[in-house]
Amino acid sequence: MSDQVTRLLVIRHGETAWNTEARIQGHIDIPLNDKGRWQAERLAQALVDEELHAIYSSDLARARHTAEAVAQTAKLQLNLDNSLRERHFGRFEGMTQEEVASQWPEEARRWRQRDPGYGPEGGETLQAFYDRCLSALTRLAQQHPGQSIAVVAHGGVLDCFYRAANGLELDLPRNWQITNASVNRLLFNGEGFSLVGWADNRHLDGPDADGAASLDERTDGMVARRA
């Protein structure tokens, strides 16, 4: 492996109450629920032996608080970057998919079909969101050649990363998991991304896992320095 390759751990935030209700979070700043905080702690312990050189996170609370647990265990400063935020869903935010379909059936159809040029009123198009996410990840990876970094973000953001690493079109239906607080591994060779491993959530198994609500696999919809 080239010493200029950047190794990336890309991680979705822990669970929130709106995950369990399947509400579209977008840019609304929803905190972790009890299970999400538990997941963040388990994640931090799972990464204790990783040789991380930097940790970056979306500035939204659900991602930031997940990343803070990792940063504290790794004894690293957490860097916030608002370009790692979830897609802005405009007037859809706070609603369920069923509520969107009831009020705006044609818009819901275009959203379900993953039309790259479509964006809800007040929100981002899918293409603009993808471009934002890939630009952010590329910028961060370029800053750390030969190093390992962790990036904590959101379900939609990680979907963009997966598609980029596998050369998949934006309108292809998703058939891969993006679970809360799972570990996903990518490489950046200076030109593009490749997939090493995906959806490793073994650290969330065990006897105490039964005390919290089940993992949500649906789309998301401390002082730190800003990157």
Of the candidates 15, 41, 86, 124, the residue annotated as catalytic is 86
The three-state DSSP-derived secondary structure of the chain is CCCCCEEEEEEECCCEHHHHCCECCCCCCCCECHHHHHHHHHHHHHCCCCCCCEEEECCCHHHHHHHHHHHHHHCCCEEECHHHCCCCCHHHCCCEHHHHHHHCHHHHHHHHCCCCCCCCCCCCCHHHHHHHHHHHHHHHHHCCCCCEEEEEECHHHHHHHHHHHHCCCCCCCCCCCCCCCCEEEEEECCCCEEEEEEEECHHHCCHHHHHCCCCCCCCCCCCCEEC
Assess whether 169 carries a catalytic annotation. no
Assess whether 144 carries a catalytic annotation. no
Of the candidates 13, 65, 88, 203, the residue annotated as catalytic is 13
Catalytic residue IDs = 13, 86
